[in-house]
Amino acid sequence: MSDLLTDMTRKELEILIAEKTLSGRDMRVIVKEAVQETLVQMGLDTSNPIDMQRDFQHLRDWRIAQEALRQKGAFVMVSIIVTGVASLLWIGFKSFINQ
């Protein structure tokens, strides 16, 4: 290989490199096709990007609603436990006072 490089002129070497190098447009096409194939393999319809954006927005809304519900559910559970303990203490206090 090194003999081949020493026998080539600089111009021949530049031509060889230019033939083997992808242009920016070629790279964009390759990347676009790779991304599109990946999205299709994931089950996403790439032919209508607006619908894809709506689907992702729906998933985001669903996730936010689920997180809010989980937070409120935890708050309700803590409130029930605190109310139960307070009621138990109040009933115990009243029965102690009445005796």
Residue 17: which H helix or E strand, with range?
Answer: helix 10-20
Model confidence at 7, in pLDDT bands (50, 70, 90)? low
pLDDT one-digit tens code per residue, 44-88? 888 888 998 998 999 999 999 999 999 999 999 999 999 999 999
Predicted pLDDT at 4? 57
Which amino acid is it at 72? K
Predicted pLDDT at 58? 96
Domain chopping of the chain, boundaries: 1-47, 49-99
Q: What is the token pair recorded at 94? A: 């009243």
Q: Give yes or no for a contact between 24 and 31, defined as CB atoms under 8 angstroms apart.
A: no
Give the predicted TM-score (pTM) of the model.
0.52
